[in-house]
Chain A
Amino acid sequence: MQRVEHSKAAEIFNIDEPRVDWHDDTLWFVREKRDKAAHQLPEWETLRELASQIKNHSLSNLDHYLEEFEMNATKNGITVHWAADGKEHNQIILELIQKNKVQRVVKSKSMLTEECHLNPYLIEKGIEVVDTDLGERIVQFRKEPPSHIVLPAIHLKKQEVSDTFHEHLHTEKGNNDPQYLTEAARVHLRDKFIQSQLAITGVNFAIAETGGFVVCTNEGNADMGAHAASIHIACMGIEKIIPQAQDLGVFLRVLTRSATGQPITTYSSHFHRPRAGQQMHIVIVDNGRTKQLGRPDFRNSLKCIRCAACFNTCPVYRRSGGFSYHNAVAGPIGSILNPNIDMRENADLPFASTLCGSCSHVCPVKIDIHDQLWKWRQILTAEGYVASSKKVGMKGMAFVLAHPSIYRFVGKMARWALTTFPTLLANRKFNPWAKQRELPIAPKESFREWFLKNKG
């Protein structure tokens, strides 16, 4: 199925203006919470700088840290697996499920597993995975992807959640109370946790020094699954490695403040050894990350700790919604990560931005997101992924702007046309500017003409 370009999807999203306002306000509220948290710490900007430098250092020594992590994790009794891509990742998990004759699988939030399309793969093989993060369970029932990497169901109103739960959990029709609905999910998922045989979690941070990993949740669902199931599989991208335990002090201080404005998530769980009788596995995944590492202009994007602060601040994301980015990771960070995977599919994303720069300045690890968006535009254009009509227009513009007398002529013509044929240029079909905006009124003379008359 051909994916819909961001601008087209955004256009459709904007048909329901009150809904856009609601979506925009909801996410802006999360940005405001982040601001409040950031402003409460005088050392906030120092922490961002430290987090950025730790990640810069880690990426520059990534192979050694991964090897150190593997050695220490193995000593701890964790089985370490490596996967070149999403397919291998899924196969590894399938093998573990089949080898252990597992039928009941629970999964806490892992954007990596979304990226690898794990759930549809397992369903195809006859294995049902229950997503246990409340937001993810909601979208799972609705057969939708998450629209936000931290707040999966942010695009849904409580009435919609209520309808979904009525259908799948037989809650009271029309009861939209979030407390009531959460309680229903608690009861339903509690049963799943207790019955689970295998729990899949993500990894927020993997520590090379100690061979362990940290998983952060507010709901406690990662732990409910991991400590109940006899097999725990943690999935991580290669870039999740940090060198030492002390680095967690920096990251755990900036992560949740950036994501939701909380000082820390309810649970920051540190896993080092399986409990007695349990198998613990970790799957380390590349899936294009080493390629991105090799791109000097874009390797910084691998510093990302998946906080989504960039989503919440992005005026375009807030007014177009996660689905318009047609990827597991949407928003500004998605727009610089996804073209690395597939330029053709994702050529639209770096253009879904005004380059306002807000994202780069809320990023807790100082990724130069807006600069990378600009740089991706140059590459995508050079590689030919831009519409030919745009190419022709731009080549024309380049010519005009390099030749002063032609520029003056074109400018004068434009002003003349605006004055003489206002209806033509204002035709909403031909001129997108004019759909919802008036064209500027053409002045009688350009500045240059005024200058020559009055000062020259």
Chain B
Amino acid sequence: MKVGLFVPCYIDQFYPQVAVATMELLERLGCEVVFPLNQTCCGQPMANSGFAAASGGCDKNFVANFKGLDYVVGPSGSCVLHIKDHLHDDGDAAAALHIREHVYELTEFIVDVLKVEHIEASFPHKVGIHQSCHGQRGLHLSSMSELNAPSFSKPEKLLEMVKDINISKPIRVDECCGFGGTFCVFEEAVSVKMGKDRIAEHEDNSVEYITGVDVSCLMHMEGILRRQNSKTKIIHIAEILNSVVYAKS
């Protein structure tokens, strides 16, 4: 099956290692991965700021890049959710619809489509799980604490396949980190306070890494961690799941 690799803009520019890990992981799991060269962004930052109406050009570009592929997979819950909910192209409605129906975040793709039961990976570290909101509540990557419903987690299911990993969870298992797109600058005080509080709960558990499915959350927390001169590092789940390869390189 042909999988189009969707690389969110800020991963492309600032965290390329996450996209590298994603690509390598998908290939290891038997996918033919193509990377459309002219992709830019999903348009979420504009839409969430009230400018969904201005995203037409961005959406058209996305459709042009990803049409005709069996699946579109990206290492970002929020970007994938945005595409799923909002991608439109009046000039090629059918293609846009197909993409919306076949776009997946990485962990849900591996669990639900590839139905993988075993991943060869090793990550002997204590890792705190951060539940990114859009992936969790929007894409249903895992159950949420608000509901009286059975508990499950696709990212955690995959992490549990990793050898020697020590998974920990904060007390408030799914409180938002405070990134929120442009919220992180327009409501800077609350945004940072939320990030600090998330980090504090992980550091109470003495984690070495904080991981999640969304680099936006991790980038925001990393900014705070580095300002605090903390030893705690962030790492995207793709990098953990691809860790054997990294260990070798």
The stretch among A33-41, A133-141, A176-184, A202-210 that forms the contact with chain B is A33-41
Contact of A404 among B7, B40, B227 (CB under 8 A): B40
What residues of A have a CB within 8 angstroms of the CB of B137 in the complex? Answer: 356-358, 360-361
Besides A362-B146, A402-B57, 9 more A-B contacts (Cβ < 8 Å) are A355-B134, A355-B180, A355-B181, A358-B174, A378-B53, A381-B50, A398-B55, A433-B188, A450-B16
Q: How large is the interface on A (under 10, 10 to 19, 20 to 34, 35 or more residues)?
A: 35 or more
Neighbouring B residues of A380 by C-beta, 8 Å: 50
B176 at the interface (CB under 8 A from A): yes
Give the chain A neighbours of B172 by CB distance below 8 A: 28
Q: Does the CB pair A415–B13 fall under 8 Å?
A: yes
Interface string of A1-21 (1 = CB under 8 A from B): 000001100110110010010
- The residue that B52 contacts in the complex, of A13, A378, A443, with Cβ under 8 A, is A378
Contact residues in A for B107 (Cβ distance below 8 Å): none
Q: Is A84 an interface residue (CB 8 A)?
A: no
Q: How far is the CA of A39 from the CA of B146 in the complex (A)?
A: 9
Q: Is there an interface contact between A315 and B187, defined as CB atoms closer than 8 Å?
A: no
In chain A, positions 414-453 with a C-beta closer than 8 Å to chain B are 414-415, 431-433, 435-440, 442-443, 445-452
Stretch of B98-106, B113-121, B159-167, B190-198 contacting A (4+ beta carbons < 8 Å): B190-198
- Of the residues A6, A313, A352, A437, contact of B146 by C-beta under 8 Å: A313
A377 within 8 A of B: yes
Q: Which residues of B contact A415 (CB under 8 A)?
A: 13-14
CA of A402 to CA of B148, assembled, Å: 42
B67 → chain A closest CB, angstroms: 15
- In the complex, residue of chain A having the shortest beta-carbon distance to the beta carbon of B41: A401
On whether the beta carbons of B197 and A24 are closer than 8 Å, the reply is yes
Any A CB within 8 A of the CB of B37: yes
**Pairs A-B, 3 closest by C-beta atoms:** A402-B57, A354-B180, A437-B223
Determine if B220 is an interface residue (Cβ-Cβ < 8 Å). Answer: yes
User: Is B20 positioned at the interface, with any CB of A under 8 Å from its CB?
Assistant: yes
Residues 109-129 of A contacting B (Cβ, < 8 Å) = none
List the interface of chain B (C-beta within 8 A of A): 7, 9, 11-17, 19-20, 23, 35, 37-41, 43, 45-58, 60-61, 133-134, 137-138, 144-149, 172, 174-176, 178-181, 183-195, 197, 219-220, 222-224, 226-227
The interface residues of chain A lying within 8 Å CB-to-CB of B175 are 315, 358
Q: Does A267 count as interface, using CB distance less than 8 angstroms?
A: no
**Bound state CA distance, A113 and B110, in angstroms?**
54
Is A269 on the interface with B (CB-CB < 8 A)?
Answer: no
CB-defined contacts of B180 to chain A, threshold 8 Å: 353-356
CA A41 – CA B149 in complex, angstroms? 11
Contact A437 B192 (CB under 8 A): yes
Q: Does B51 lie within 8 Å of A394, measured CB to CB? A: yes
Contact of B48 among A352, A377, A439, A450 (CB under 8 A): A377
7 A-B pairs with CB atoms under 8 Å apart are A11-B188, A313-B146, A315-B175, A401-B9, A438-B223, A446-B12, A447-B12
CB neighbors of B among A41-84 (8 A): 41-42, 44-45
Q: How far is the CB of B165 from chain A (nearest CB, A)?
A: 25
